[in-house]
Structure 1
Amino acid sequence: MTNVYSFDGIVVFGILFICTCAYLKKVPRLNSWLLSEKRGVWGVFYKAAVIGTRLHIAVALSCLCMAFYLIFLK
């Protein structure tokens, strides 16, 4: 279990947030509802979805590295 206030927790939260937003971008109803706004507070979801779709290989590798670190090294 990671603590959100530690660096590990912040990194895990960021990676999971990007992965979730990229997944929600593929769902048509949620895409139009959640990711239609590109500015403001709701724009964070859109920007995370763009990062997740454009850098999908880097995000996937960081997920694997973080999982390995949390399971075996921590």
Structure 2
Amino acid sequence: KTNDSSYSLDGILVFGLLFICTCAYLKKVPRLNSWLLSEKKGVWGVFYKAAVIGTRLHIAVALSCLVMAFYVIFLK
């Protein structure tokens, strides 16, 4: 049973994991790294912090992505 008026927790988790993975990938691209991830505070600092989480905890993030993919494909 889904409720259209509220967000689902699994959708927010999928978005968070994809956001962290995307920012970690963009950190490896030199031109985008200097443009997007140079600010460490404020609203733009969220991208930097997500990139740091993705690079430092890459094993945990990868395992979380696999678990979430299994959940979305087979259990949802």
- In structure 1, what is the equivalent of residue 13 of structure 2? 11
Instruction: Give distance in 2, aligned partners of 1:52 and 1:16.
Output: 10
Amino acid at match of 1:27: V
Matched, 1:40 2:65: no
Q: Which has the larger radius of gyration?
A: 2
| Structure 2: unaligned runs, 5 residues or longer | none
TM-score, normalization by structure 1:
0.94
- In structure 1, what is the equivalent of residue 67 of structure 2? 65
TM-score, normalization by structure 2:
0.92
| Structure 1: unaligned runs, 5 residues or longer | none
Q: Which of 15, 19, 24 is residue 22 of structure 1 equivalent to?
A: 24
Taking every aligned residue pair, what percent have the same amino acid on both sides?
Answer: 89
Report runs of 4+ in structure 1 exceeding 2 Å deviation. Answer: none
* CA RMSD after TM alignment: 1.4
Cα deviation for residue 5 of structure 1 reads: 1.3
